Amino acid sequence: MDNDQNDEDDELCIDTVASCPITPELVDQLATLADLFLGDEEAAEAAMAGFGWSDLGLEVDEARFRTNEGHLVYGTDTFFMPFAYIYAVGSEVMVEDFWGELPGWSSVKDHTRFKAVRDEAVAVFTQRLGPPEVDVTTDGADQKRYAAWRRGGAAIVIGEDMDSFSYSQIEECVVYIGEHPADAPFPEAAKLEDFLGWSA
Name the CA radius of gyration of the chain, rounded. Answer: 17
- Give the mean pLDDT of 144-153: 92
**Looking at the 3D structure of the chain, how many domains does it have?**
1
Q: How far apart are CA 126 and CA 118, in angstroms?
A: 12
Confidence of residue 151 (pLDDT cuts 50, 70, 90): very high
Q: Is residue 149 part of a domain?
A: yes
- Give the mean pLDDT of 32-40: 82
Q: Is residue 177 part of a domain?
A: yes
**Over the stretch 59-76, which tens digit does the pLDDT of each residue have?**
999 999 999 999 999 987
Q: pTM for the complete prediction?
A: 0.88
Q: Is residue 200 part of a domain?
A: no
Q: How far apart are CA 111 and CA 114, in angstroms?
A: 6
pLDDT exceeds 70 at position 200? no
pLDDT exceeds 90 at position 169? no
Confidence of residue 78 (pLDDT cuts 50, 70, 90): confident
**Over the stretch 112-125, which tens digit does the pLDDT of each residue have?**
999 999 999 999 99
Q: How far apart are CA 80 and CA 178, in angstroms?
A: 9
Strands 79-87 and 145-151, bridge-based pairing: unpaired
Q: Is residue 14 part of a domain?
A: yes
Q: Is residue 113 part of a domain?
A: yes
Q: How far apart are CA 50 and CA 88, in angstroms?
A: 37
Q: Is residue 190 part of a domain?
A: yes
Q: Is residue 102 part of a domain?
A: yes
Can you give the residue range of the structural domain that contains 87?
3-195
Q: What is the pLDDT of residue 187?
A: 84
Q: Is residue 126 part of a domain?
A: yes
pLDDT exceeds 80 at position 96? yes
pLDDT exceeds 90 at position 38? no
